[in-house]
Amino acid sequence: MDAPCLRDSPPPRAASGSRRKEEVYRSFLAFHLQHSGSGSLAPGCGQQLGPGKDWLDSQSAPGRRFHTLDFYRLARDYLGGEAGDRAAGQPGAQAGDRAAGQRLLRSLSKAFEVLELISLNVYLWPWRKEIKSIKVGVVGMGYGE
């Protein structure tokens, strides 16, 4: 098995970046490099995500973290929370609606986990993406025809 691409420097820092951000990044990278060697690359677990969560909590209000996807509104709407019910003018969520919302939220969570795994693979082994694109481009040429 080939070794993953080791990146010595963290991604570009935001204007308010700090030494703590670099520590969280290096911890994240070390965790995934350790597990990728054994073939057990998986989305981060609670213990590994703790330092990153602490760093994010120290930066800004949770509602301002997601610019493209309003995750908190989405979760509230799926779960039929009080704030979502008041905003929609509904008297309250039905038990079946809440269960369906929980299933949808679990599905969304699984989709984010798959996206995380794909992103980790491309980040740790960027050459694999290039080789796949070369294979796709070369297959259509038809050798010796």
Highest-confidence segment of 23-27, 50-54, 64-68, 139-143: 23-27
User: Which value, to the nearest 10 degrees, does the dihedral of the CA atoms of residues 66, 68, 73, 77 take?
Assistant: -140
Of the candidates 52, 49, 36, the one whose C-alpha atom is nearest the C-alpha of residue 4 is 36
Alpha-carbon distance of 53 to 36, in angstroms, equals 22
Domain boundaries along the sequence of the chain: 17-59, 61-124
pTM beyond cutoff 0.85: no
List pLDDT tens digits, range 57-89: 776 666 666 667 777 777 787 777 544 444 444
- Chain centroid to Cα 28, Å, comes to 12
What's the gap between Cα 127 and its chain centre?
A: 21
Q: How does pLDDT run across 90-145, given as a tens digit for each residue? A: 545 455 677 888 888 888 888 888 888 888 877 777 776 666 666 665 555 554 54
